[in-house]
């Protein structure tokens, strides 16, 4: 088994319950459904090891990954930008206002200013949903 850096991962001793829930979520995704798992815990509690294990077991499923950022840092949407980086080619498929709001949030248009945070949320949802479906996002044409 290999982790995110390509090296061997540590054994996940005592994590059978978490691994079973992740396996169920992966099975649901392979069948076209959706599932959500929230991982919380102190630094060093093994969250990254569980995620590395999940990515390894995801197989052919598309995995998008990001890590939390300091909300008091100089860029509030760093984690969102990292999550969406590989999907930016799909941005033009979003409805205009949502695409513009998301582009300005991600720093792609330095002159734009986010006015409607709900357009950012909706644009992000459209982008992720379109990527998950492998189809153009709503309003983007087919």
Q: How far is CA 7 from CA 2, 10, 95, 135, in A?
A: 5, 10, 42, 34
Number of domains in the chain: 2
CB 4 within 8 A of CB 55: yes
Instruction: Give the pLDDT score at 77.
Output: 77
Determine the structural domain holding residue 5 and report its residue range: 1-63
Same domain for 57 and 85 = no
- Identify whether 109 is part of a domain: yes
CA distance 20 to 53: 11
Q: Which residue has the higher pLDDT, 76 or 126?
A: 126
Span 77-105, average pLDDT: 86
Query: Mapping DSSP to helix (H, G, I), strand (E, B) and coil, where does residue 2 land?
Result: strand
Question: Which DSSP symbol is given to 139?
Answer: T
54 in the same domain as 4: yes
Residue 137 pLDDT grade (very low, low, confident, very high; cuts 50, 70, 90): very low
């Amino acid at each position: 088994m290999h982790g995110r850096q390509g090296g061997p991962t540590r054994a996940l001793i005592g994590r059978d319950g978490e691994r079973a829930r992740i396996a169920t979520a992966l099975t649901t995704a392979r069948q076209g459904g959706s599932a959500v798992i929230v991982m919380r815990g102190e630094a060093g509690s093994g969250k990254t090891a569980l995620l590395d294990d999940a990515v390894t077991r995801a197989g052919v499923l598309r995995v998008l990954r990001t890590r939390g950022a300091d909300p008091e840092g100089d860029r509030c949407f760093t984690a969102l930008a990292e999550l969406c980086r590989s999907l930016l080619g799909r941005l033009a498929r979003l409805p205009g206002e949502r695409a513009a709001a998301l582009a300005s949030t991600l720093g792609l248009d330095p002159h734009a200013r986010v006015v409607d945070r709900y357009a950012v949320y909706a644009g992000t949802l459209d982008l992720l949903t379109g990527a998950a479906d492998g189809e153009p996002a709503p309003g983007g044409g087919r």
